[in-house]
Structure 1
C-alpha cells in the first residue's frame, strides 16, 4: 500500500511538472506570436528574430525553439490574421445584379485589406526570399481573382482584358498603392476604387 501510494504521488508530481512545462511553452509561444503581430502592426514590417524576442521578453533561443525559422513564424502570423478576416470573406456578396455585387465586394475588401495591410506588406517584402511566402502570395492572389470572376457573366468573363481589369481594381495591390504608397485616407482610397470600378463597368453588359 505504501509503495502504491508513493507511486501515485510520484506520478501526480510528474504530471503536474509536465503540465507546467506545457503551459510555460504554450505561453512563451503565444508571446512570440503576439510580439510579431504587434511589431508588424505598428509599422516594423521587417522585424528580426532578435527584435521579436526582445518584444516578447523571451530569449532568442526560445524563438527558434518554438519556430524552426522565420517562415514558420510568418506562417502562424498569417493564420492569425486570416482568421480575423475570414467571417467577412465568407459572406456571399450582396446585390441584385453582378455589378452591384462587385461594389459590395469592394466595400468588404476595403475592410479586409485595411485589417491585413501591414501584415501583407511585411510578407510581400520577404516573399522573394521565401518559397512558402511566395506560394502563399500566389494563393491569395488566386483567391482574390476567383472571387471576382465568380460574379461575372459569361460575356464578361470571356473578355480577358475586362475580367483582369476588374480583378486589378479590386485587388490588395491596388489598395496598398492607394493607402501605403499614395498615403490616401481610407475614405479617399475607397472613393478611388469606386470611381475606377464605376468607369470599368460603364461599358460592360448587364448580364
Structure 2
C-alpha cells in the first residue's frame, strides 16, 4: 500500500505545532515547579515576577499559562494532593477505635509535615481569594470527617469530644507546634500523643 505523503507546507507545520505544544507544556511545568520550589524553601508568598524568574520564563508567560495566581495555586494544590494521596488512602490500623485514632495521628504528622509550607502559603492568601478560601474550608471538612469516620456513635454525637479530637489532630495544631513553637518533629508528635491520650482516656472504649 502506498504511503500518502503530506504536502510540503503541512509537513513543515506539523512538527512546528507539536514543538510549540511541547514548549508550552514545558513552560507550564517549569512555572508550577518554580512555585513549589519557592514555597518549599520558605518564600510563602512569592510574587508572579519571582516565580517567572525562578522558572526562567517571562512574566507574560506566567499569565499566558495561568489566568491569575489563583489558577497557579490551584494547579499547585493538585500536584500536592497527588503527592500525598498514598498517605491519605491508607486506612488507620489498630484493634480498637482508639488505636486507630493514635495511628491516624501518626499518619497526619507525616502528611502535615509534607504539606506545611504550602498550606501556610495558601492560608496567607485565602482572605484575598475565593478559591483558596473554599479550598481551606474543604480541607477543614476533610480533617473533621476523616476523624469522625473512625469514632463510635457515642463519641461522634458528643460535639465536645469530637471537636476536641479534631483540634488535637488538626493542621493548625501541628503548625503551632512545628512552625510557631519551633519544636522538632518528634517533640511535636510527643505533644500530640499526650494531648490525644488524655482526651481518649475520658471517652468510652466502644
Relative to the length of structure 2, the TM-score reads 0.97
Partner of 1:205: 204
Partner of 1:56: 55
Give ranges in structure 2 of 5+ residues lacking alignment.
Answer: none
Alignment of 1:1-207 (within 5 A): 8-207=7-206
> Residue 131 of structure 2 aligns to a residue in which SS?
helix
For residues 156-194 of structure 1, give each alpha carbon's deviation from its aligned partner in whole angstroms, at most 9, with x where no partner exists.
111100000001101111000000011100000000000
**CA RMSD in angstroms, aligned pairs only:** 1.0
Give ranges in structure 1 of 5+ residues lacking alignment.
Answer: none
Relative to the length of structure 1, the TM-score reads 0.96
In structure 2, C-alpha distance between the alignment counterparts of 1:144 and 1:9, rounded to whole Å: 59
In structure 2, C-alpha distance between the alignment counterparts of 1:93 and 1:56, rounded to whole Å: 39
Query: What is the CA distance between 1:12 and its match in structure 2?
Result: 1.9
Query: What is the CA distance between 1:8 and its match in structure 2?
Result: 2.4
For residues 99-134 of structure 1, give each alpha carbon's deviation from its aligned partner in whole angstroms, at most 9, with x where no partner exists.
000001001001100000000000000000000000
> Residue 205 of structure 1 aligns to a residue in which SS?
coil
In structure 2, C-alpha distance between the alignment counterparts of 1:195 and 1:12, rounded to whole Å: 69
